[in-house]
Amino acid sequence: MITVADDGRALEVAVRHEVLRIEPWGASSVRVRAAQHAIRDDIPGALIPPKPVPVHVTCQDRTASLVNGAITAEVTIAGTDTGIDAQLRFVRTGTGEELLSEQRAHFWWPGARLFMPADNGYGRLEQRFAAYEDERIFGLGQRTHGRLDQKGLVLDLVQRNAEVSVPFLLSSRGYGFLWNSPAVGRVELAGNGTRWVADQARQIDYWITTGANPREILSRYADATGHVPLLPEWASGFWQSKLRYRTQDELLAVAREYRERGLPLSVIVADFFHWTHLGDWKFDPAEWPDPAAMIRELDELGVKLMVSVWPSVSPLSENYRELHERGLLVGTRTGVPAHAPWNDKGFGTEMPVSFYDPTNPAAREYVWAKIKQNYYDLGVRAWWLDGDEPELQPGHPQNLSFHAGPGAEVVGLYPQANARTFHDGIRAEGDEEIVLLSRSAWAGSQRYGTAVWSGDIPATWDGLRAQVRAGLNLAVAGIPWWTTDIGGFHGGDPDSPDYRELMVRWFQYGVFCPLFRLHGFRDPRPAFGPEMTGGPNEAWSYGEEALGFIEQSLRLRERIRPYLMAQMRVAHEEGVPPMRPLFVDFPDDPESWRRDTEFLLGPDVLVAPVLEPGAAGREVYLPRGADWTETGTGRRHPGGTAVEAAAPPDRIPVFLRDGARVPILPE
């Protein structure tokens, strides 16, 4: 029933047709796989091969344990009303305190795991765990629901614009948990139990870890799925973008004006429709006649060009036929390989387009060759990977067929695989600087240099409030590089005094995000198509008064860049994100687990964004275990207290820990 495998380092359990494999996977971490008949090694996931760790395994006929550092996995085969059943429990090694336990669905049937077979060995899979009354749950990617604590929610495990599914959670009980499956499904974090569901898959696969504190858990998760590269210094500055600069001359004029006004600028973006056809992956010479010269001038201005690169391929593209004939496009189970409508150049109407298949190594090599020839060799070094959920319309992933497997089983990893196309190609050029701004991500995306922005969000106060929690949860889910469209994406009237107030407050928040980026589709907004461009969206587009406040934010970002880069090195080396909830640094303060509209940037800077119109102040909780200096007034406050902090139009509340010297105020 239970046997010891791998020279005493793993456990294998067999109960009727179900088999389980329990093995160490990094320090104080355990991987569990369960399937019918046999465990498979060919199903894609996020985990990378672990370093060997000392393990102690004991086994009897119907009970066994695996001790790996601070975590112990206990497995028991017990009788039920419908026969024997295997159940797992995870405890702290030193104390025996329960971290997480599998839970039977019913005393009769089913048990903690359920396999509902379908065609060809695939089926609906369920994994159940106990619920705990005092538990708080964080992470699980980026969501639009506006909550930090995910307990009590049902979350779809599917990629959508502004909904980034990264199935890793951190629990207030002291464990981290990865559902190591990119299959479409859901997680139910209910009061009577937790249930993970894969709609169509072949195998249950999860990973659990523990640590002395949240920092240690996040570090172990980075060890298991890959550490983010070191952010290039240029990427820590201000990024200018709008929908969209239509020509080379338009873009250069904006970069020159930033220089003439003496405003900091690090990156400027050439958005979509700069191409000839979707999937040609090159500049349209009618609008961008000399991109190499443009990039040289930008380099002289100290500005990097970021180019929007979509994974979609129009049937008009010069690359479509070869991609199609070589099987490098995402296939379909029924119908032609068309996955979304698009009004491409030369169509004159909306027509269907396809996606390339980045789970296929040959497709990654083909696409990178085009990117290298038409962008990289011209000097482009920053990449905007838009629409890479992928942007299915309609959203029928079960109809897709990938090199890695059926769509319903593997589609969640599409953004990770797409990022790998660029990461591997850039590394092959001997280039270590990789910055990929992606609209989506999956577990492990960070190891390919993926930064995420929060998608096409509303230009409203509600939109801003939701971003604070969304960014913190994505950071907990292991993606340290994150940003928003400052001001929101959908709409915003640059001439409106109310919207100008929102823009100023969003800028003040954006200063303290890992990446600092202005983007949006401002009013007036034309219909979607190749000629579209939004209203003005530069720092000076919102009137002189707003520009004064925005310029202060730009200058503040420049002052804190050395501090931010030090935190980026910590993220690279230790896996701890620069922007994070209070509880990451103050886990022993119960109130730090409840506060969800303030955050830390590194260990020393506490930020409390202004999230209401007309506000001149707000309450700020200062975590217990440190003293805090209010940067706007110089007042010092003890930790463990809530204070009413001033928030005049020119600043938001920012506090420094224990006398830290971070240049929030100008000299």
Among candidate residues 389, 391, 589, 596, the one labeled active-site is 389
What is the gyration radius of the CA atoms in the chain, in angstroms? 25
Given a contact cutoff of 8 angstroms between Cβ atoms, the answer to whether 180 and 443 are in contact is: yes
Among candidate residues 297, 456, 493, 551, the one labeled active-site is 456
Q: Is 456 a catalytic residue?
A: yes
SS3 category, 502: helix
Q: What single letter denotes the amino acid at residue 184?
A: V
Q: Of 128, 100, 129, 103, nearest to 115 (Cα)?
A: 128
Which tokens is 234 given? 């240029």
Q: How far apart are CA 363 and CA 356, in angstroms?
A: 7
CA distances from 491 to 259, 452, 464, 536 (A): 27, 21, 13, 11
Q: How far apart are CA 405 and CA 457, in angstroms?
A: 32
Cβ neighbours for 422, distance < 8 A, ≥ 6 positions apart: 309, 368, 371, 383, 385, 434, 436, 448, 449
Strand ranges, E, within 232-365: 238-240, 267-270, 304-308, 312-313, 331-332, 340-342, 351-355
Q: Greatest CA span in the chain, whole angstroms?
A: 79
Which tokens is 145 given? 């629901």
Residue 110 preceded by cis peptide, ω within 30: yes
Among candidate residues 23, 149, 357, 386, the one labeled active-site is 386
Given a contact cutoff of 8 angstroms between Cβ atoms, the answer to whether 176 and 209 are in contact is: yes
Given a contact cutoff of 8 angstroms between Cβ atoms, the answer to whether 35 and 53 are in contact is: no
Q: Of 14, 223, 45, 13, nearest to 22 (Cα)?
A: 13
Per the listing, tokens 């940003």 go with: 483
Q: Is 498 a catalytic residue?
A: no
CA distances from 50 to 13, 130, 198 (A): 22, 28, 25
Which tokens is 266 given? 């690090």
Q: How far apart are CA 444 and CA 441, in angstroms?
A: 8
Q: Is 6 a catalytic residue?
A: no
Q: Of 649, 460, 632, 652, nearest to 549 (Cα)?
A: 649
Which tokens is 284 given? 């349209």
Per the listing, tokens 């993926």 go with: 450
Per the listing, tokens 């190749």 go with: 530
Q: How far apart are CA 361 and CA 155, in angstroms?
A: 31
User: Residue 84's Cα: distance from chain center in Å?
Assistant: 41
Cβ neighbours for 80, distance < 8 A, ≥ 6 positions apart: 104, 107, 108, 111
Which residues are identified as catalytic? 386, 389, 456
